[in-house]
Structure 1
Amino acid sequence: MSFSLYVHIPWCQSKCPYCDFNSHAAASWPEHQYTATLIAELERRAAMAPFAGERIKTIFFGGGTPSLFDPKSIGAIIDAAARIFGIDSGAEITLEANPGTVNAEKLRGMRAAGVNRISFGAQSFNDATLKFLGRIHTADETREAAKLAHRAGFDRLNLDLIFAVPGQTVADILFDIESAVGLEPDHISAYNLTFEEGTAFFTDLKRGRIKQLPTDEQAAMYATVREEIPRRGYPMYEISNYAPPGHEARHNLAYWRGESYIGIGAGAHSYARDGQGGRRWWNEKFPARYIAAIEERGLAEAGSENVDETSSQGEFVFLNLRLRDGFALRDFHDRFGRNFECIFGATATPLFNDGLLTLDRGRIKLTDRGLEMADSVFAEFV
């Protein structure tokens, strides 16, 4: 059984006001020490169940801003993963990048280091919107970064967009979509702006400094995104993700399908599937504590939980429902040894009756209306 590897690089040049990820703004960072620590954690995990003797099928460098690191550091981590576990032939290896932190040399270096998919946080092609979002790059820098990535040999290129930003209009969304498509990515992600507790935007919202767009305007923007990105050759395959068949983000598919993964680095989460349940754990959040923990005991777990069969069943349903194709009733039965109807019949029936779920050729999936109310549907299975 192969698994996915997530590598967390926690530093950014500045913290975006909407970001609730474990990221820390800094002028400098202990890159060499942190790289060595990540490799040490990998080595420790390789000696432990259930990943000992298994191979890696995808790698994802997330953050933070992984593109702040030197390609040699990224390459050292990939080489260590290959030496310690082994990496499947043709494995997807993704690196998140801020368009304002790359140049031709760095992108060529990342490609040579083994990264074969790059994901740029474009967010918007309107510089005023970018400034509001606290981004350090401009729209022109995204355009240049995408061109340089293609020249560096990146056939796999994702662009992230954010919509429902205060002040945005549907016309702005259409411009962002056209601009993104014009850069010829093979994958586009489009996220509705959320105001998460603990972020600067959440504080500003509570204090009345900014206002969310009305719900109906947000819904209209999501409808535009769902219609217009596929119309340009990128079918929706997940609530926020669009790509032609065969170009889906394989690493993220592993999450949505409830497969096993190791997360290394400060604050990284891991999940080991075990029969009809599993175990989840997470690392020390602060980089200095993470490094100290690995140096002292080889692991940096700050907490863990066992996921029982009942919880696993609910997670299987709502994670797979994120996918446009949903899940096969047969797959549910194969995983848990019981029929979906026996466990969730009473929960699902009202959702079918309300037109939020549909059964199509043995697969349960969200309807178009269900997509708009996805969080409410998911909550029924938690």
Structure 2
Amino acid sequence: MATTRLNLEMLGAQETKAGNYFVSNYPPYSFWTPASVPEALATLEREPLPDTPLGIYLHIPFCRKRCHFCYFRVYTDKNAGEIKRYLDAAIAEMTTYASKPFIGGRKPRFVYFGGGTPSYLSTTQLTYLTDAMKALLPWDEAEEVTFECEPGTLNEHKLTTIRNVGVTRLSLGVEHFDESILKLNGRAHGAKEIDRAYNFARSVGFPQINIDLIAGMMGDTDALWQATVAKAIELLPDSVTIYQMEIPYNTTIFAEMQEGGNEIAPVATWAKKREWVQYAFGQLEQAGYTVTSGYTAVRDPATTRFCYRDQLWAGADLLGLGVASFSHVGGVHFQNQHNFDPYIDKITGGELPIYRALTPTAEQSLIRELILQFKLGHVNRGYFAHKFGVDLRTRFAETLKELRTEGYLEEHGDELRLNREGLLRVDRLVHEFFLPEHRDARYA
């Protein structure tokens, strides 16, 4: 079966269709159920496993505008009062968690503000929120505090506040530098706002500034993409992340596809997207960057890290706060209520807002870490032998053989390493490690 899927891709099944491409967890979210919520509640009452890092994710679901390709839980119609109500709910949620045994005296090793648009918050709202969070679980041991931004929401005063509350990694959602591409894909910011925001951010002195790009947006061409890559290199950010455009089911692009009876999305093929990412990686490498994952290039690997990613992909506990947020605590997955009012109503009613959960088996936990770490381009056999008591070359012999035969995988001592061709399609290849019951199921 693995051979069939890999060969189909090589034979040209490249059109972009609706569905999730990016693999962020395992087992797939579609297998998480409300019936398993008691398992999540039970794990909160247990002490943490020794030496397990703790991270915090807070979802800020507010945006100036919903992008046509966005599949996150976002709102563009909330006023200041509703935003205050949401922030109070998130603080109350965190207050409940802070008293639970699973915290075990730990302080967060990483904090991540995602969205939506965290930079949509005013400086007053941001200070109010972060002061409350630090009072509950201090950040003085945090190795990284990440904050996602939309360039059009930034000015020097707001960026100074973001830096002063302790943010160490600013992630700018640029996506593309061409004005026409930004408009066509529904981005709220324009090209001119990017330079202004970036220059302000540099002047404030963030230790790490990251630029996000998307390969394969509607309307993109070879020339426009090459210009975008050149502009990114000209700015010399500390890191660049590049994602390949996907069309999940809850996007406006998919809704328009349905209305028109179209199965094929109006974006680049997977082959073209891989070509563009390969071009970007090549140009970044010529400029002195190092490719450190299927999506990431960094200027200095010795100083530029992604702590939240590396720790989460190695089994760290992640406490997800806010509407629709995902958590991973004590080996148990769970997700919050995925709509605004039900989320807040649960908290104001004195309950945790957990909507669905899943407790992976030991084998599923092994597969989760394996596929996530493969997204770095390499996995260490000794790590999995020590942690899970499994020899990867024996347990996944058939899949590894197939990946080698198709020319994607190489072995170097104790390391299993994807070459560049494998890395560019890693989110497709890791499906080969899924258990049979998960391979052809809906992911989200």
TM-score tier, shorter chain, comes to over 0.9
The answer as to whether partners of 1:124 and 1:176 remain within 8 angstroms in 2 is yes
| Deviations, residues 126-162 of structure 1 (Å, cap 9, x unaligned) | 0000001101111110100000011122231111111
Q: Secondary structure at the match of 2:387?
A: helix
Aligned length: 377
Residues 1-382 of structure 1 correspond to what in structure 2 (within 5 A)?
Answer: 1-26=52-77, 28-29=79-80, 30-89=82-141, 91-206=143-258, 207=260, 208=262, 211-243=266-298, 244-245=300-301, 246-273=303-330, 278-324=331-377, 326-382=378-434
The answer as to whether partners of 2:371 and 2:430 remain within 8 angstroms in 1 is yes
Q: Secondary structure at the match of 2:359?
A: strand
| Deviations, residues 301-338 of structure 1 (Å, cap 9, x unaligned) | 011110111111111111000003x2211101111022
More strand by share: 1
Percent identity, aligned pairs only, is 25
The answer as to whether partners of 2:176 and 2:182 remain within 8 angstroms in 1 is yes
Higher mean displacement: 162-171 or 332-341: 162-171
| Paired AA for residue 127 in structure 2 | G
| Paired AA for residue 344 in structure 2 | I
User: How far off its partner does 1:367 sit?
Assistant: 1.6
| Paired AA for residue 322 in structure 2 | G
Q: Which structure is higher in RCO with an 8 Å CA cutoff and minimum separation 6?
A: 2
User: How far off its partner does 1:216 sit?
Assistant: 3.4
| Paired AA for residue 141 in structure 1 | E
| Paired AA for residue 273 in structure 2 | Q
TM-score, normalised by the number of residues in structure 2: 0.81
User: How far off its partner does 1:27 sit?
Assistant: 5.0
| Paired AA for residue 197 in structure 1 | Y
User: How far off its partner does 1:197 sit?
Assistant: 1.1
Higher mean displacement: 193-202 or 72-81: 72-81
Q: Secondary structure at the match of 2:320?
A: strand
User: How far off its partner does 1:253 sit?
Assistant: 2.2
Alpha-carbon spacing, 1:343–1:218, altered in 2? closer, same or farther (3 Å):
same
The answer as to whether partners of 2:53 and 2:316 remain within 8 angstroms in 1 is no
| Paired AA for residue 370 in structure 2 | V
CA distance in 2 between counterparts of 1:229 and 1:204 reads: 35
Q: Secondary structure at the match of 1:238?
A: coil
| Deviations, residues 149-185 of structure 1 (Å, cap 9, x unaligned) | 1112223111111111233222222211121222231
The answer as to whether partners of 1:170 and 1:220 remain within 8 angstroms in 2 is no
